[in-house]
Structure 1
């Protein structure tokens, strides 16, 4: 890691704190979905499993919010840095591609941790009634790897999209259908079998499944290893692609 890493991390941190729009969509927007779906399905149970809806909805909306923030943060940043020629300037310094991407990832990890704490705290209010099991700590490594995987997805999008409209369009086309198919907004047990098959090909499904099992205490060593292993594989593949397609300028 070069000496540029701490300086770039500090810059990213200040930028994140000053952007009111990013703060809203990172912290407030996902809570709106929790309030919406939590109110609609309050006190109800999923017939197929007997578990309450909140046990599905709270972890699912949380993981979607964290994954969504990871994708958009780096995708918009790379597009804006190239448009303003900031990356061209950074390229003339000792900073490497790894320093640029890893410093932003570090800030994204910190934001994800705040998101998780805030979201779980709200979901545990009596109105929603989430009661995490003692195994909830298992969600931490899953969320860590999930952030890496979706950050890499965002870096790929940011490498190709040259306008804010393109970043928003591509990111939403990927993340919105994935959220519904992966069970973020309603239990995957309610889906037809062919949609369940599609869900198993999506990284968000394994993040939802692993975090949900951790919060309900239904995780086994095998299921945890599977979810963690698949997320790691996605992170490695997307990460390699992100580094390969990284661009310093739009030229």
Structure 2
């Protein structure tokens, strides 16, 4: 083994041990983002919207006499309880224990609901109205003139956890890479380790290569943990060329390492470098779809979001991991991330100082 290779191996091992021994680094790089994944996974651990809870008072011929196919659809949309006590049923709706009470008054289906949850009330009323309209068409004996067909634009298996995991993983990779680079650069400067390394018989490229290698390995560990927990714990569905997340993670790591180097070059203390890296990454996470989708965001916010590298990392991973896109979908995001890394690295190099001022 050559001297340079031995130095690279020793430096990489030392940096990796330093990371795993630093409890705060492990917490913010791995455990903290995973807490969000577990939280969102637990909240949205459902395949479909739960049926509305409806209480039927007495006989409701319109519902009871539905054809078999229509009845099956009704049972999918509503969970029906039967009672003869109208007042008790209405009280349950007032308390939020049921979504609606339905009863027949002559030829009219009457639905009683609370105004507390306007969204649920509107969905329940709209669905019931659709069944009434269908019954009217059937009673008229005339075939319907128009038909409706729903077609999903994304994979049928796409669930909330599928949408959330790529964004949270992107945020975790960005946070770990940026914080690690910022803290390392400033910490080495304050401890005079930079000067000692400059005088040591080790080439700068070996030191930089070891730092990049360790950070990328940490990002791979994050990816494996996120995908493993998401798949086994919450039913994450990986589709398409999901393996293209690997080069995306590498490009994202380099991009946010560059941002961390910029923070380390600008700040005068380790705490200042970490805080500045946080100032870069945290707002970007909210504006890049890491915590919630931006599909319905205003146009100006979309423009701002697409100027941020984390948006391209999140979109690229979303495309190849869960939207079923091919490898080509990751190429543009990778190019943008690498270009951003190159520009920021040049800026950080111009601002770099060997000693703290």
Matches within 5 A, 1:1-251: 3=4, 4-43=7-46, 51-126=158-233, 128-220=234-326, 223-251=329-357
Output the CA distance in 2 between the equivalents of 1:44 and 1:247: 53
Q: More helix per residue: 1 or 2? A: 1
Please, which runs of 5 or more residues in structure 2 have no aligned partner? 49-151
Output the CA distance in 1 between the equivalents of 2:222 and 2:164: 16
Where do 4+ consecutive residues of structure 1 move more than 4 Å?
48-51
Q: More strand per residue: 1 or 2? A: 2
**Which deviates more from structure 2 when the two are superposed, residues 102-111 or residues 92-101?**
92-101
Structure ID, larger Rg: 2
Task: For residues 106-158 of structure 1, give each alpha carbon's deviation from its aligned partner in whole angstroms, at most 9, with x where no partner exists.
Answer: 100111111100111111134x2211114111111111111111111111111
**Which deviates more from structure 2 when the two are superposed, residues 23-32 or residues 161-170?**
161-170
Output the CA distance in 2 between the equivalents of 1:168 and 1:225: 30
Please, which runs of 5 or more residues in structure 1 have no aligned partner? none
Against the structure 1 CA distance between its residues 167 and 44, is the aligned structure 2 distance closer, same or farther, given a 3 Å change threshold? farther
TM-score by length of 1: 0.90
Output the CA distance in 2 between the equivalents of 1:104 and 1:240: 18
8 A Cα contact 2:166 2:321, kept in partner: yes
Output the CA distance in 1 between the equivalents of 2:254 and 2:3: 20
The CA RMSD over aligned residues, in Å, is: 2.3
Against the structure 1 CA distance between its residues 49 and 169, is the aligned structure 2 distance closer, same or farther, given a 3 Å change threshold? farther
Q: How many residues align?
A: 249
TM-score by length of 2: 0.65
Higher relative contact order (CA 8 A, sep 6+): 1
